[in-house]
Amino acid sequence: MMAKTFTIAIDGPAASGKGTLARRLAAHYGFHHLDTGLTYRAVAKALIDRGLPLDNEAIAAEMAQNLDLKHLDRKALATHDVGEAASKVAIMPAVRRALVAAQRAFAQTLPGTVLDGRDIGTVVCPDAPVKLYVTASAQARAKRRHAEILAGDGEADLAAILADLERRDARDMGRTDSPLKPADDAHLLDTTEMDIETAFLAAKRLVDEALAKSQA
């Protein structure tokens, strides 16, 4: 009998804590982790590095098809310019198709995987045994992002961060192709009043239950 992988799908808006939670769960269970947002950023950075246009869907899709998901440099992909460029390539259907196919292939990695993003439970891994939708109020998310930037010795304007998050929410939830929304069978985790430890324990309970069922 072939071994079967176990997938945890985590979705949610920007700065909701889903990435931190995904990394904690992956480390705890010894699973492979993929921040799918980085895959769109990696396509954008590949275009920028080569001096290629950001509005050519065929070229962007080719970059997406040749992407190595196992070697994504989080720090190099975290710049504002790459993020802005990523928002342009992320709306291209051919890019989304190529990256979703790559993300689905990654999800088959043994012994298990944790994928976080905007459309994991709804599009990428609709059959995942655990689906979490991690959210928090826009104000709470803006305060977290503000604190992160200050902790890294950066300068940040809380009002500007809040406005940016609200703009991103509207774009992510309003797009026609794979809009951000909870899967019908996702467990909602509102982290507005939660620290990471509380969120981790709540998620761990759900994963432990699903793992026990899958091994029964």
**In the CATH hierarchy, which top-level class contains the domain 6-202?**
alpha beta
Which pLDDT score, from 0 to 100, does residue 1 have? 44
Q: Tell me which DSSP letter residue 189 carries.
A: E
Going from N- to C-terminal start, the domains of the chain cover 6-202
Residue 6 pLDDT class (50, 70, 90 cuts): very high
Cβ atoms 45, 88 nearer than 8 A = no
In the annotated binding site for ATP, the residues are 12-20
The amino acid present at 126, given as its one-letter code, is P
Which pLDDT score, from 0 to 100, does residue 174 have? 87
- Answer whether residue 3 shows pLDDT above 80: no
Cβ atoms 182, 11 nearer than 8 A = yes
pLDDT by residue (tens digit) across 10-48? 999 999 999 999 999 999 999 999 999 999 999 999 999
pTM of the model: 0.93
Residues 6+ apart with CB under 8 A from 36: 99, 103, 115, 116, 117, 118, 120, 124
- Answer whether residue 216 shows pLDDT above 80: no
In the annotated binding site, the residues are 12-20
